Structure 1
Amino acid sequence: MNKLILLQANSSSPSDWVLFFGHFHPLIVHLPIGFLLIAGLLELDRLTRRNSVSPHTITLILFWSAVSATMACVFGYMLSLGGGYEAETLNDHMWQGIGVAVFAWIAWSVKSENLGRIFPFAQLIYLPVLGVSLLLLLAAGHQGGNLTHGSDYLTQYMPESIRTLAGVPPTQKEIKFEPITDLNQAMVYQQIVNPILHSRCVQCHNAGKSKAGLRLDTPDMIKKGSEDGPVFVAGKGTSSELIKVCLLPEEDDHHMPPKGKNQLNESQIALLTWWIDQGAPFNKKVAELTINDAIRPVLAALGGGPNAASGANVAATNGSPAPESPVLTMKVPAADPTIIDELKKTGLLVLPLSKEQNQLEISAVNARTFSDAQAALLPKLSAQIVWLKLGDTQISDATMVQVAKLKNLQKLHVEETNVTDAGLKQLKSLLNLEYLNLYGTAVTDAGLTELIGLKNLKTVYLWQTKVTEQGIANLKKAMPKLEIIGGISKQTIAEFAKATSTESKASDSKKN
């Protein structure tokens, strides 16, 4: 039998009262841990230093350790009825917990001399029984951690030298996804969908911890689905469980990711919906799929090569590329290798945008902790940096002071950062800037006025910002040729599926 079979919820679902008390298990379980450890330390102190600890004190501690261990078992059982736990690990955790309670009661019975009245030699088993209860406590705690956090929780950051001594397998290398340089040629699953799943879902749905029997770490496991069946219906994004649970209110118990975890943003949900609408392919490129007007700006925000630099013609159905930007044909001096190494040490990716012109793309896709202090390195490559992607990092307006020194910058991503209107004031010197992504920032209408002087700016993304329709209208009036991509909400995601479905039906009709 497969060892990773998950415990199913009972055919008759447990009542809310049962699950309510079950959720107190993590709270109650700390009591026997504390009581038993104190009892063990007091006995150790008594034996090694022969201090006179009152037997009544230890007896009282053991009594409450036994009571609380029993309560933890009861509440733990109630919690397990909700399902979604690995069967083998849950079974081990359950019996180890029961063992803790049983041996705690025996230890209390011996120490209180209740058992001694029946068995004259009961005192001889007291210390061994207490020792076994402590060992079971450690084992049960470890298995509980595995159930909650995954089997590698304790060893995830273990140094390699200690791993070798402990016989633990070497650390698996962190998955680094290939950056998107030409969006039309990007593999949809590998370069767009898989990074989303790994950043938001795989933490709870992997080989070591597969809640609800669902794994989202490989194509085969995604196709297999959960214990309740498939998680997607090819061609029907909003009818798929994978999307439905993301659209539920965050307070809903079935919402995914659970409340408190990193949530998918609207653009990520839109991309997953679009992927499923297109049949959930695992081996196709963006250019091979149908791109409707609703999803095109979402894809464009991912960045891309020269054909997508303007953000306006990404994977257009007519296949016509955007005109090449003059700045992309500009030749600059070669970058200093030592400075490139300095940037790489901060976690940034330094990619050659054009070897002939010595231009560079700097990406923080693997450096989410990149900060204002580290941004001081950027001006050292002021001539070479043409594309800069600092989205979803810890930067603020202070970094924009450094960015303003990048005279050849054509594309700038600062989405989901702490950049504000004050930061936009610094961009007036970027005369080559054509693309600006401000999604998820605190930029307001006042900040938009700072963009008016950027005559070469072609595309700006303003989803989830504090700008108003009037502010966008004013900017559009001042810069008629500027493409302004506004907000996107969860309510509009359903329209993506509808639009794609309509286009697909029209296409099928023409073929017939």
Structure 2
Amino acid sequence: MSNLRNLCSGNFRRYLRWGDRISGQLRLGLLTLAPILTVAVLLALLPPDGNERAEWAQFIGRFHPLVVHIPIAFLLLVPILELAGLNHRFSYLRLSAGFVLGLAMLSATGAAILGWCLGRSGGYSGPLLTQHMWGGISLAAVCWLCWMLRLSDGEQRSTFIYGVALALGVGLVAWTGYRGGQLSLGEDHLTEHMPGGLRQVLGLSNVQASLASAGANTFYGARVEPIFAARCVTCHGPEKHKANLRLDSYRSLMRGGKDGPVVRAGNVQGSDLFRRITLPLDHDDFMPKQGKRPLSADQVKLIELWIGAGASGTLPLAAIKDAPTGSASPTAVSDVTFEEIDPAEVTRLRAGIAPAVAELRKRFPDILEYESRGSANLILNASILGPKFGDSDLEGLAPLAEHITLADFSRTAITDRSASAIAAMKQLRVLRLMHTRITDSTLQRLGTLDQLESLNVFDTPVTPAALPTIAKLPKLAHCYAAQTAIPSQIAVPQPLIGKLVF
């Protein structure tokens, strides 16, 4: 009888300990599930609607891109630890899988909360954003499920369910991340720079811009809308519309954004859209932002002509006679986008200049970059060196001169001695000379730069004597001449009317 009583007592104590453990795990699980449910309820009741909210929401939401990569790393590490731990030599790795999974759950929940704040801070709405946010919520919930399953004793935990949930979590990471990439980089971000040969194999078109919202026989539909489609809708489209401005349709464009209309029919200089695309590249209001390539001179001219002609969505294509063409077909999207370069040709060109590029990067790290992954053209940013970069340094660029398309010499120590070196940059489209000692002598030797679209001589000793040479540059769209010896009220040569900015 005594043995039976002891046996029953021992079993009862074990049952109580097991119950306490399960109860503790349940409390812990509910505690971690609460933030996930909170975010889900907030998303359901207060979805992103594109309207701007308080500055605190905008501030907190900006940390979403920083935090969102943490759960990705943790969750992808868990199955690696679990699978490696199946080998008895590495069984110790499985001991850390639960801890890593817990970190994945907490960081996924935090990323979802920050994502909700970012979505509510303004400029975001649409089905793509909704899919991305619900994907993040689902991922946090799946992480919680996996964590709870792993906390359970082996007898209660279904290894099969745990494995399926873990695989689902990895799949959600890929799907949600892809949607996030579409939001920040554009819906075609994975195929945008795909080589032409691979495009043909996959049956993808080389033309990315759409002419759907207006007929190809209208000036807007054939010549203006492709510019917005290729260069603007990533930030001002149906999914992301910064400043509450959309440029993906004529109606949205004319409606304007949070600061009112951006296009004033017939008034080019009074149109905020035109003002922003013609500001100095380093101006806070310049568009496109974030180091993206500025519009070409032809693209700016097309927008200027369209606004000046009344900014109509039905203006016939042939109504504007002096519009830049650029190709035989007046409706070709290539008129206003950049031609695709043969990858083999890019490889050949890069190989030819690789030694010179490597040598310059060794001397001056970070001042030289390729224009894009699919280009052999170079961007030179000597401004980061300031007065440490002088005439002798510029002379060392001679082997690369014809490949440089953007050169920024702001605040450097270059003088008129560098005129020949700059004039040798035949493909130069953007030249920034602000805050230097460059004078008329240099500018008068730049008349051969027939690709130059933007010139900035802000805060230099340049005088009106340089204007005739500047006026002869065939593709120049704007010249910034504030704080120079050129009076703002000067009678400028005819070709510079509307291009000289003070």
Q: TM-score when scaled to structure 1? A: 0.52
1:173 and 2:187 matched: no
Deviation at 1:87, TM superposition (A): 2.3
Q: Is the 8 A contact 1:434 1:457 kept in 2?
A: no
What is the rounded CA distance, in whole Å, between the counterparts of 1:422 and 1:22 in structure 2? Answer: 47
What is the rounded CA distance, in whole Å, between the counterparts of 1:91 and 1:429 in structure 2? Answer: 52
- Give 2:193's aligned residue: 157
Deviation at 1:100, TM superposition (A): 1.5
What is the rounded CA distance, in whole Å, between the counterparts of 1:90 and 1:171 in structure 2? Answer: 26
- Quick one: which amino acid aligns to residue 96 of structure 1? G
Cα RMSD (Å) of the superposition?
6.0
- Give 2:455's aligned residue: 440
What is the rounded CA distance, in whole Å, between the counterparts of 1:466 and 1:239 in structure 2? Answer: 20
- Give 2:479's aligned residue: 463
Deviation at 1:104, TM superposition (A): 1.2
Residue aligned with 2:455, SS: coil
- Quick one: which amino acid aligns to residue 247 of structure 2? L
- Give 1:142's aligned residue: 178
What is the rounded CA distance, in whole Å, between the counterparts of 2:485 and 2:498 in structure 1? Answer: 10
- Quick one: which amino acid aligns to residue 479 of structure 2? W
- Quick one: which amino acid aligns to residue 90 of structure 1? L
What is the rounded CA distance, in whole Å, between the counterparts of 1:250 and 1:391 in structure 2? Answer: 14
2:377 to 362, 369, 372: 369
- Give 2:358's aligned residue: none
Greater fraction of residues in helix = 2
User: Residues 86, 251 of structure 1: CA spacing in aligned structure 2 closer, same or farther, 3 A cutoff?
Assistant: farther
- Quick one: which amino acid aligns to residue 136 of structure 2? G
1:16 to 33, 55, 71: 55
What is the rounded CA distance, in whole Å, between the counterparts of 2:485 and 2:443 in structure 1? Answer: 24
1:232 and 2:263 matched: yes
Residue aligned with 1:31, SS: helix
Q: Is the 8 A contact 2:236 2:247 kept in 1?
A: yes
Gaps of at least 5 residues in structure 1 are 1-6, 176-186, 290-298, 305-341, 348-365, 378-389, 404-411, 493-512
Q: Is the 8 A contact 1:401 1:423 kept in 2?
A: no
1:40 and 2:79 matched: yes
Q: Is the 8 A contact 2:124 2:239 kept in 1?
A: no
Q: TM-score when scaled to structure 2? A: 0.53
Q: Is the 8 A contact 1:445 1:471 kept in 2?
A: no
Q: Is the 8 A contact 2:143 2:169 kept in 1?
A: yes
2:165 to 113, 124, 129: 129
**Within-5 A mapping of 1:21-420:** 21-47=60-86, 50-113=89-152, 116=153, 120-159=156-195, 169-173=203-207, 197=228, 200-205=231-236, 216=247, 222=253, 231-236=262-267, 242=273, 257-258=288-289, 260-262=291-293, 272=303, 275-281=306-312, 282-283=315-316, 369=377, 373=399, 416-417=430-431
Deviation at 1:205, TM superposition (A): 3.9
Q: Is the 8 A contact 2:129 2:183 kept in 1?
A: yes
Q: Is the 8 A contact 2:131 2:179 kept in 1?
A: yes
How far does the alpha carbon of each residue in 1:484-505 deviate from its partner, in whole angstroms, 9 at most, with x for none? Answer: 9599677x7xxxxxxxxxxxxx
Aligned residues: 374
Gaps of at least 5 residues in structure 2 are 1-45, 210-217, 327-344, 351-373, 380-397, 410-417
How far does the alpha carbon of each residue in 1:368-389 deviate from its partner, in whole angstroms, 9 at most, with x for none? Answer: 9278657769xxxxxxxxxxxx
- Give 1:327's aligned residue: none
Q: Is the 8 A contact 2:85 2:93 kept in 1?
A: no
What is the rounded CA distance, in whole Å, between the counterparts of 1:451 and 1:246 in structure 2? Answer: 25
What is the rounded CA distance, in whole Å, between the counterparts of 2:482 and 2:285 in structure 1? Answer: 30
What is the rounded CA distance, in whole Å, between the counterparts of 2:123 and 2:455 in structure 1? Answer: 34
Q: Is the 8 A contact 2:263 2:271 kept in 1?
A: yes
What is the rounded CA distance, in whole Å, between the counterparts of 2:139 and 2:275 in structure 1? Answer: 41
Deviation at 1:276, TM superposition (A): 3.0
User: Residues 397, 45 of structure 1: CA spacing in aligned structure 2 closer, same or farther, 3 A cutoff?
Assistant: farther
Q: Is the 8 A contact 2:122 2:244 kept in 1?
A: no
User: Residues 45, 242 of structure 1: CA spacing in aligned structure 2 closer, same or farther, 3 A cutoff?
Assistant: same
Deviation at 1:440, TM superposition (A): 1.6
